[in-house]
Amino acid sequence: MKFAPFPRRIRATVVLVALGLAGLLSLSTSSEAATPSMSVDDIFCRAKSGVGFSYWWGGSCWESSGCSPDYGGGKGKCTCTCSSCCGDCCTHTGGHGADCSGFTYTVWRLANLSQSDVCGPHGPVAATYMNSSSDWTHKDDSEREPGDALASKTHVMIFEKNTSWGDVWAWEAKGCNYGIVHNSRGIDWGSYAVARRKNVVVGVCTPGQTQSQECGNCGTKKRTCSGNGQWGDWSGCTGQGDCAPGSQDSKSCGPCMHQVRTCSGQCAWGQWSGCQNAGACVPGDSQAQGCGNCGTQGRGCQGDCQWGGWGPCQGEGPCGPGQGEEGKCGDCGSHARTCSAACQWNDWSECWGPDPEGGTLVCVSELPGVCSEGRVRCKTGWIQCVNVVEASPELCDGLDNDCEGVTDNGNPQVLSDPPPPFAAVLEDASFPTVLAAGAEATVWADFRNVGVLAWPAGEVWLTLADDEPGPSPLHVPDSWAAWDVPAKLCRDVPPGGIGRLQFRVRAPEPPGRELRTALVLRTPAGEPIRCPSPSLDLAVRITAGKADETGAVDGGELPGGPPDSGPGDVAGTPHPQSDDGTGWGCSASRTGACGATLLLLAFALGSLLLSPRGRNQQA
């Protein structure tokens, strides 16, 4: 049950009257009947049920569930608009809460409340509890006992017990900010007095109070609180049924057959069931179940309608589903595998491992050229030297870019930047395409030095190509430096400069055939210059009869023509021939053609200037 607290106007009147008349008010509220008996445990139970509810000035109402608070209807809320007071300047919302005196009055159950009611009239103010009244008696502070009230002029609380330090445990409606609390705290005994509720029985129950409890099979037993606040003995268990709820009974109705009945919630047996198999199985039945790693085991139903033991586990796989395994592979890798749902190992994963030293170890791969630069890797689990540069189209750079094992093979036309140490471009050439048997003619070729190194005089030779069988049939022993060296440079040619190589050829007998000779420039080290166009291919057709002294025809087929060719100086155009090997290049000879070239330089220059189609563009 729940009573509404006094409206504020009436509440204020009650407070004022209480402050002025102290004990008179308490007499008027409770003198009509003797203070009802109450145990200390009941006081504590009611106090405990108020903890957590709000402070409500003039209020005395909360809800409980046994000894616990029930916040289902709300705790109420106190809001204070000033710091130094807790009365008129505080506002409260909600229907639950209490101030200190309302809390004490209700806990003490002084308004003839039933045991479960925690709502009722507010009762007198705190100061009233400092003196005796019809419902309580003043006691010395040192006589305080559990369940007493500790009261000052402005505050009152329910005393529970002392601490070992002389503080107290108490329940109190402390204030607007705090609400109703249970706490251990210090007490100024000079300000507080002790009030003891009348008719408090020292015990665990209130005299006359009864308790019932279920017992046995739906039976009950009772006990009554005696006059000293102690519970009497439990009565015998009465009103029991035939059985315990949910229990079962059975009887046989044939081999392995029986009937059952179940006890109801009212402790009465239900009807017998039909005759049913009493055992776990029918003899002859069999069962199988999975076991181990995808294996199976079976059991059979025995003559007593009970299952026999499980047989051995058969057909197991090598592993359990989901099982994993790891292992090493190669010399630096590891791999893993998992077990399938069918208990069979899946394939190993790819063998993998980290590169040694983080892949920074330098090594030489099996590939030639630029592809030989490698790093030590763990490849598919094995330590290998893996190339870090891939093959690329050959450049004229002195490197083996395509990793075929030959530097600058195939006469690559694209020069690298910077270019290689030695590189040459055939700018122009003159050689006879037709020559009478026994006749001689002069051949010259202009090569531009497009490498980074200068061509030292006498050290860069024009020689037979490596695959050219020697000696050359066009060989002129007096003109050539050797049977396979038609000419050498006779002066230094810096990068960008052009060097001329000049020599004589002689048409051997018999006529009627064409002779071919492939020539190539070589570095001072004797290595052929590879690119872009360091070679000269001679093709001379031998004719019968004496040829014109200068009857050679310029048959040089220069791809695209020389870059510095003048008008009319195109591939296939006859060039004037000179037998003496003069010019700004020089012919090679065993006797030092370079010296002769220098002596004849003036004559050669004159010849060129007088020639109607001289190499004036090069002079």
- List contacts with another protein (CB under 8 A): 15, 55, 57-58, 83-87, 99-102, 125-126, 140-142, 152, 154-155, 163-167, 169, 172-179, 181-192
Nearest alpha-carbon partner for 161 in 35, 70, 47, 38: 47
The span from the CA of 411 to the CA of 429, in Å, is 18
* Complex with another protein: residue 75 or 261, whichever CB lies closer: 75
3-state helix, strand, coil split of the chain in percent (to 5) is 10, 30, 55
From CA 47, how far away is CA 468, in angstroms rounded? Answer: 123
The pair of structure tokens assigned to 107 is 């806990």
Residue pair 248/267 in contact by the 8 Å Cβ criterion: no
Bridge-based pairing state of the strands 586-587 and 498-506: parallel
Nearer to another protein, 163 or 213 (CB): 163
Longest Cα–Cα distance of the chain, Å, equals: 170
Which lies closer to another protein via its Cβ, residue 99 or residue 440? 99
Residue nearer to another protein on the CB measure, 175 or 486: 175
- Compute the distance between CA of residue 426 and CA of residue 571 in angstroms, rounded to an integer: 12
Quote the least distance from Cβ 62 to another protein, whole Å. 16
Amino acid at 167: D
* Least distance CB 1 / another protein (angstroms): 24
Using CA atoms, how far residue 65 sits from 48, 73, 115, in Å, is 11, 12, 12
In this complex, which beta carbon is closest to another protein, that of residue 79 or of residue 617? 79
Contact between 19 and 117 (Cβ < 8 Å): no
What is the smallest separation between the CB atom of 283 and another protein, expressed in angstroms? 59
Q: Residue 52, Cβ neighbours under 10 Å: how many?
A: 15
Q: For the CB of residue 117, give the shortest distance to another protein in the complex, in Å.
A: 21
Tokens of 246: 């949910």
The nearest distance, CB 134 to another protein, in angstroms, is 21
Which residue number, 184 or 276, has a Cβ lying nearer to another protein?
184
For the bound state, the minimum distance from the C-beta of residue 301 to another protein, rounded and expressed in Å, comes to: 55
Q: What is the H or E stretch that residue 16 is in?
A: helix 8-21
| Residue 72 CB, nearest approach to another protein (Å) | 20
- Residue closer to another protein (CB basis): 125 or 267: 125
Question: Which CB, 178 or 272, lies closer to another protein?
Answer: 178
Shortest CB 141 distance to another protein, Å:
8
User: Which SS3 state, helix, strand or coil, does residue 415 take?
Assistant: strand
At residue 524, the 3 state secondary structure works out as: coil
Is the bond leading into 418 cis (omega within 30 degrees of zero)? yes
